[in-house]
Amino acid sequence: MSAVLVIHGGAGAISRAAMTTDKEREYHAALKEILLTGQAVLAQGGSALDAVTAAVVGLEDCPLFNAGRGAVFTSEGTHELDASIMDGATLKTGAIANVHHVRNPVRAARKVMEVSKHVFFVGEGAERFAREHGLEMVERSYFSTPERYEQLLRVQRENPEAAVLDHDGQTMVARQIAAPAHPLDMDKKFGTVGAVALDLHGNLAAATSTGGITNKQVGRVGDAPIIGAGCYASNQTCAVSTTGTGEMYIRKVAAYDIAARMRYAGSSLEQAAHAVMFEELPSIGGKGGLIAVDSQGNIVLPFNTGGMYRGFARVAQTPVTAIYPDSQ
C-alpha cells in the first residue's frame, strides 16, 4: 500500500494547436502546486478526506479550472456551483448543488457530511446551511473571469441552444480567434475538478466540484454532486471522481459501477475503470474521463477525449502531471 493523491481538472477537446506554451506551463504548475499541498497532508499522516478537500479547494481557487473562481456561466450569465465528497471508511457523504455565494463548495459538501443528518442540499437551502456553519461567502462576481464570459458569448453566438463543457468552450474561443470559420465540434464538451486519495491509514476518499457547463439552463445539475455518478469511495474497493457528459455518467452510475465491478465481479481497478470508460459510457455517447485509486494504492486516469488535466503524487515522490494522451 502506498499513500497517494490523484487529481483532475476536467477533460475535453483540449487542442494542442489552441494551447500556447506559456498556458500549458501554467496548467502544469497549478496542478503540481495543488498536488504538493495534498501530498504534504498525506505525508504528515493526515486523512484521505483532508487531502482531497485540500486539493479540491486548490482547484476551486484556481481560475484555470471550472469550479469556484473561474466557473463557467449559465445561459442567464450567472454561476451555479456543485460539489460532493465521500469518506471510504464510513461511507458518509455530503453534497451541495446550485449555490451562488459559497467560495469553496467542497467545504460546504464536507460540512454537510460531518454535521447534518441529511446528505444533499440545493439552492437557497444549501447557501443557508453554509452560512449558518461559518463557511466563507462571497459576492457572485468573485467567480467571474473575463475569459469565461467571452466563452459564454462565443458559445451563444455559435449555437444559442448549445451547452458546452469547460475545456471545449476554451478550445472554441481559441479556434474562433485563429480561424473564425472553424466550427466547434459539439460532440466534445467537458469540465469539472476532482480528487481521490489513499492515506497512510488505508482509508480512501473522493471529492468532485464543478461550475457546470457553459450556457446551461438554470437549475440543471450534472453528475458532480451525485454520489455514485460523479463521486464514490469505499475502503472495500476504490475511490472515484469523474468528469464528462454528466447526464451520461448519471445514467450509467459510472463511479459506483467501477466499485461494483471490483466487489461483485472481482475485477481489478484497471479492468473496471476501463470497462466503464471505454465500453459502458461510449455505448450511450458518454465522453470524458475519471480518476480512481484502490485500497492497495493502484491508480488509473483513463479518458476518451482529446485530453484531461490530471496528475498524481505519492508520498515522498515527485508529483506527475499531464494533459494529453501521450503524456503521463
DSSP string covering 254-274: HHHHHHHHHHHH---HHHHHH
Minimum mean pLDDT range among 159-168, 169-178, 253-262, 297-306: 169-178
Contact, 170 vs 188, CB < 8 A?
Answer: no
Mean pLDDT value across residues 234-253: 97
Distance (Å, rounded) from C-alpha 205 to C-alpha 88? 5
What pLDDT is attached to residue 15?
A: 74
**pLDDT for 101:** 97
pLDDT of residue 222 exceeding 90: yes
Note the pLDDT of residue 218: 93
Band of the pLDDT at 173, cuts 50, 70, 90? very low
Q: Residues 17-36: pLDDT tens digits?
A: 778 899 999 999 999 999 99
CB under 8 A, 24+ apart: contacts of 272-279: 272/238, 273/240, 273/300, 273/302, 274/300, 274/302, 276/252, 277/302, 277/303, 277/304, 278/302, 278/304
Percentage of the chain modeled with pLDDT above 90: 77
Catalytic residue from among 53, 74, 171, 192: 192
Which three cell numbers mark 236? 472495500
Q: Of 79, 72, 297, which Cα lies nearest the Cα of 189?
A: 72
Q: Cβ neighbours of residue 288 under 8 Å, at least 6 residues apart?
A: 11, 12, 190, 242, 243, 244, 245, 249, 281, 303, 304, 305, 308
Decide if pLDDT at 265 tops 50. Answer: yes
* Contact between residue 143 and residue 109 where contact means Cβ atoms under 8 Å apart: no
Lowest-confidence region among 119-128, 157-166, 264-273, 289-298: 157-166
Question: What is the pLDDT at residue 175?
Answer: 44
pLDDT score at 160: 64
CATH number of 4-143+186-322: 3.60.20.30
User: Once rounded to an integer, what is the mean pLDDT over residues 47-59?
Assistant: 98
The pLDDT-based confidence of 149 (bands split at 50, 70, 90) is confident
The per-residue pLDDT for 172 is: 44
- The pLDDT-based confidence of 16 (bands split at 50, 70, 90) is confident
* Residue 166 reports pLDDT greater than 60: no
The full set of domain ranges for the chain reads 4-143+186-322
**What's the pLDDT score for residue 188?**
39
- Residue 326's pLDDT is what? 78
| DSSP H or E segment with residue 25 | helix 21-43
Q: What is the pLDDT of residues 32-51, one digit of tens each?
A: 999 999 999 999 999 999 99
Q: Please enumerate in sequence order all residues whose Cβ is within 8 A of that of 168, keeping only pairs 6 or more positions apart, or say none.
A: 12, 13, 184, 185, 188, 189, 190, 191
Distance CA 167, CA 9 (A): 10
What is the pLDDT, as a whole number, of residue 148?
86
Range in 62-76, 104-118, 162-176, 191-205 the model is least confident about: 162-176
pLDDT in tens, 281-322: 999 999 999 999 999 999 999 999 999 999 999 999 999 999
Average predicted confidence (pLDDT) for the chain: 90
Label residue 72 by pLDDT band (50, 70, 90).
Answer: very high
| pTM recorded for the entire structure | 0.90
Reply yes or no on whether 192 is catalytic. Answer: yes
